[in-house]
Amino acid sequence: MSTATASAPDTQRTPAGRAIEMVTGGNRSIPVLIVLAIIWTVFYSQSSAYLSFQNITNLTLQIATTAILALGVVFVLLVGEIDLSSAVLSGVCAAIAAGLAVNSGLALPLAIAVAIGAGMAITLIEALVITFGVPSLIVTLGGMVILQGLILVVLPPEFTVSVAGTSFAKIASTAVPAGASYVLAAVGTVAFAAYRFFVYRERISTGTRTSPVSIVVPSVLVAVVLFGGVYTLTRQRGLPMPVLIVAVMLLIAWYFTTQTRYGIHLYAVGGDREAAQRAGVPVRRMVIYSFLILGACAAVAGMVDASRQLGVSVTSGAGPLMLNAIAAAVVGGTSLFGGRGSIWSAILGALVIGSISNGVQLLGLTTEVQYFATGAVLIIAVAVDVVLTRGSLWPGRR
């Protein structure tokens, strides 16, 4: 820590240091947006179908599962832990929900609640072992293997549950009609502007420096994103339900990470555990909360995925999902070392990774190109993270 103190004034003076300071903190999303723009430009120049309304709608559906899981992973990364088991956990939760709803005839909301509860219970056990002192890498690696066994237990003897034609399948296939979607976008914009106005009034009341610009500019941005999104995504059949689920989860996560005491403590634990402990932050409890959120996110991700794939099988949650979710969080700007990043990194990172694989498939390129590109983007993103954490471009200059 004292070394950080010593290097801080130096990094401020060098141009590289200043650039690093600029992209940390609130502006951390900008480099990701630039990367996203480059990816889209490259693929669009190869095929104009890439940015068609239909393909963008497809892309959002493809990344929904990754984005939801990545959101949970972000919470765990923010407190300085890691998780490798949540993808398989999502499969287990989906198997539980589908089994209860389809095979046992339980009401869908109840089945969903049970699955989310099961997800949180499993991550709670993992979190308790981690706060006991076992490294999270090991706990969740072991947990992943155990869960791979558990999914065989949860699934019926034929090892698959088909949800085609059931209410379960409607989770992903429901679309909010265009009219209602625009109403939602309008409500969202007005609510956001009202919130900014509320904050503006608060700041005026204590004489804190502020200006009406702090209401107008963000509100216009939000309106552009919401209406642009709705316009793009409702060209086919209306706003897909998974998109709405992601949006609502992001909204809740944004509120709790940036506007509440819980959020400050979350970042404090990731930034400096001992300092947080000394300041009276309940460090162990914050770690447990993060894993509980991950459990809930994994359950939702698993159910959305099962609903979209029309079934659960032993391969649910297997494959590249786990690495994609971690990669998404990190590519989006959440530090592997804890304490830095935001919930937006989940959706931005998922967009980057989804855009690459979508584009590769659209152009009919071979699968290895997709692997090469995704892997390279991940390594570059972590390299950027290392530079930002170190506060210097070159090693050994602390």
Helix 344-362 / helix 367-390 crossing angle, nearest 10 deg: 150
Q: In this structure, are residues 83 and 140 in contact, taking their beta carbons and an 8 Å threshold?
A: yes
26 or 157, CB closer to another protein?
A: 26
Of 367, 311, 320, 293, the C-alpha closest to 68 is 293
With b for 16 or more beta-carbon neighbours within 10 A and e for fewer, the 57-81 pattern comes to: bbbbbbbbbbbbbbbbbbbbbbbbb
| Nearest to another protein of 113, 272 (CB atom) | 272
Q: Which is nearer to another protein, 159 or 262 (CB)?
A: 262
Neighbours of 7 (CB within 10 A): 16
**CB nearer to another protein: pick between 93 and 266:** 266
- For another protein, the closer CB: 12 or 211: 12
What is the DSSP track for 97-145?
HHIIIIIS---HHHHHHHHHHHHHHHHHHHHHHHHHT--HHHHHHHHHH
Residues of the shown chain interacting with another protein in the complex, contacts defined by CB under 8 A: 1-2, 4-6, 8-9, 11-12, 21, 24-25, 199, 202-203, 205-208, 255-256, 259-264, 267-268, 270-272, 274-281, 339-340, 391
Q: Which residues contact 267 (CB under 8 A, 6 or more apart)?
A: 78, 257, 339
Nearest distance from C-beta of residue 272 to another protein, angstroms:
5
Phi and psi angles of residue 48, each rounded to the nearest 5 degrees, phi first: -70, -15
Q: Which is nearer to another protein, 104 or 208 (CB)?
A: 208
What's the min distance (Å) between Cβ of 94 and another protein? 29
Asked if residue 266 lies in contact with residue 259, where contact means CB atoms within 8 angstroms, the answer is: no
CA 6 – CA 8 distance, rounded (Å):
6
* CB count in 10 Å sphere of residue 384: 19
- Of the pair 280, 395, the CB lying nearest another protein is at 280
Nearest-approach distance from CB 29 to another protein, in angstroms = 16
CB of 82 to another protein, least distance (A): 18
Q: Is residue 318 classed exposed, middle or buried when 0-12, 13-18 and 19+ CB atoms within 10 A define those classes?
A: middle
